[in-house]
Each structure stands twice: as structure tokens, then as C-alpha cells.
Amino acid sequence: MSIFTGAAVAIVTPFNEDGSVNFDKFAEHIEFQIANGTDAIVVCGTTGEASTLTHEEHLEVIDFCVKKVNHRIPVIAGTGSNCTETAVYLSTEAEKSGVDGLLLVTPYYNKATQKGLKEHFTIIANSVKIPVILYNIPGRTGVTLQPQTVVDLCREVPNIVGVKDATGNMGMIVKLMSIAGDDVDLYSGNDDQILPLLALGGKGVISVLSNIAPRETHDICQKFFDGDIAGSRELQYRSIDLIDALFCEVNPIPVKKAMNIMGMQAGPMRRPLTEMEPQNAERLEKAMKAYGIL
């Protein structure tokens, strides 16, 4: 059984002005998501600025999220690393906190071979008993999980169940699904490709857009599942300008800006990420107004 179907939010980590984690606002964000139909929460991923959290903060944020959600929807923790042993440590600790699954990004910078990737993910998955979703995002990591590698891992390692695909490479995704059978749960990692991946047999999306439009993102998926393809397509089309604005600077700079514009107090970025350029912030606010969020 899939960890979730539908729209999972890749939730931001709100910070106070001094850079510390703002747990009060984090709790509000979690409640906002659940109240508006989000199907799962992915905590400490790219959008959650996990790369600039200390290990202690990383695990504290995961633990807080699990306790706050309290089994209402699945919680999936980002625990990947470019160091296999570090990923094992974060994954086993997250499992102790009670997460429902893990999201493991490909090891960045090292540029591992496909053999190395298979060994890396197998070791991590074998260290826990909970389900694992692989995360293929070569634009950030410099390495690509090839379709056959994904399928092999899902078939050979019992608790590796699927992949979040943020390659943007539709040909590669078609190839993956053509050889996957029922062995790979596919999730879109790009908000502008939710419907296309659902049409290829995807289970849903792990979404940045959901931070500010959770109900609408959920509905793109739900309408598709309900057979209302035209309705799903209309919502996907309607969201494109806003999605483009949310990615006009590197994620999560724009989505945190959008949340701050909405009064949700996501706080500042951690360096080396910086505040949004004024002209891009103006573009974002315009797109939000056109979408009806403001």
C-alpha cells in the first residue's frame, strides 16, 4: 500500500528573526495544511531548508511535526545525506520519532555511480522498517537515478516503495513507468507536472505550491482520481503562472516570501539563501492576486 495518494506538502520550516526555528508558527502551518485537505506532510525536505538545519534541529523539527500531526495524516521525513552513515543516523532517529516514511535524496556532490546509489539506498533502507521514497532531483544533486536503478531498488529492497521525480524529463519518466509495473509509486516533484505524472500512473505530488494553496493542489489530484480529468486539467492550467512565480528564484525563497505576504510569518531564509529580489517579489504578489490568494 502506498504511503499516501494525493498532494503532500513539502512544508517550510519557519524561522524567527534570529534564525531559530519558530515552532509556534510551524504548528500553525501544520494545522493550516490539515484543515485544507493536504494528504501528507513532508518535513525537512528541500523546501524545509534541511540543508542548513543542524542534526539536532533536523530531528527536533521532525519530532515536533509527528507529535503535532498526531496520526491525522502521514508524515514523511527527509533524512537523506551525501554521507551514507549520516543518512542512516537521521533515518533511524526519525523512525524512533514515529514518522510514517522517509524521503531520501540522491547523495549530492559525491556523484556516485548507479552501483553506488543502489548500495547507498539499500544500506539506509535496511536500517529501518518504515517505507522509503527515493528523491531524484539531478538539478540540485548532480546525479541522476536512472529508471532501471529505481525499479531495481523498489523490487529488491522491500521497504523502498517509490520515487519523487523532479527531473522534469518526461521521456525518462515514461521509460521508468513502462518498466515499473506496479512496483514503483511515482510522485511528481514539480508542481507544473502534477497532471502529466498522474496520467502516467503517478500516485500524487510532493508540492511546494501546497504551502500556500493546499486545497487547490489536493483537488488537482482528487479530481483526477475521481475521473474528472477536465476539472483536474483546469486546475493545473490555472496554477501555472503562480507556480512559475514560485520558482522564479530558487526554492524556497519565493514560497517563504508568499507566506510572509499572506501574513503566515514563515520568517527569513538561512544563508546562503537570501531575501527575494524586489522585482521578483512584485511578480509573485501579482500572480498571487491573479490566482485569488490575496
115 carries an active-site annotation: no
Walk along the chain (294 residues) and give the pLDDT tens digit of each residue. Answer: 799 999 999 999 999 999 999 999 999 999 999 999 999 999 999 999 999 999 999 999 999 999 999 999 999 999 999 999 999 999 999 999 999 999 999 999 999 999 999 999 999 999 999 999 999 999 999 999 999 999 999 999 999 999 999 999 999 999 999 999 999 999 999 999 999 999 999 999 999 999 999 999 999 999 999 999 999 999 999 999 999 999 999 999 999 999 999 999 999 999 999 999 999 999 999 999 999 998
Alpha helices in 107-265 (DSSP H): 114-126, 138-141, 147-156, 170-180, 194-199, 214-225, 229-246, 253-261
Q: Are residues 205 and 196 in contact, defined by beta-carbon separation less than 8 angstroms?
A: no
Q: What pLDDT, on the 0 to 100 scale, is given for residue 1?
A: 74
From the list 175, 201, 174, the residue with the least C-alpha distance to 187 is: 201
Q: 3-class DSSP state for residue 95?
A: helix
The grid cell for 59 is 530531528
State yes or no: cis peptide before 214, omega within 30 of 0.
no
- List Cβ neighbours of 202 (8 Å cut-off, separation of 6 or more): 186, 187, 188
89 carries an active-site annotation: no
DSSP state of 192: G
The grid cell for 219 is 483537488
The grid cell for 178 is 513502462
Q: What pLDDT, on the 0 to 100 scale, is given for residue 232?
A: 98
Q: 3-class DSSP state for residue 202?
A: coil
Burial class (CB in 10 A: 0-12, 13-18, 19+), 196: middle
CA–centroid distance for 150 within its chain: 18
> Active site residue: 25, 68, 118, 164, which one?
164
Distance CA 16, CA 14 (A): 7
Strands (E), the chain: 6-10, 40-43, 75-78, 101-105, 132-136, 160-165, 185-188, 204-207
- What angle is formed at CA 99 by the lines to CA 95 and CA 100, rounded to 5 degrees? 110
The grid cell for 141 is 544533486
CA–centroid distance for 240 within its chain: 18
> Active site residue: 25, 68, 118, 135, which one?
135
Domains of the chain: 6-230 (3.20.20.70)
CA distances from 294 to 186, 253, 260 (A): 32, 19, 12
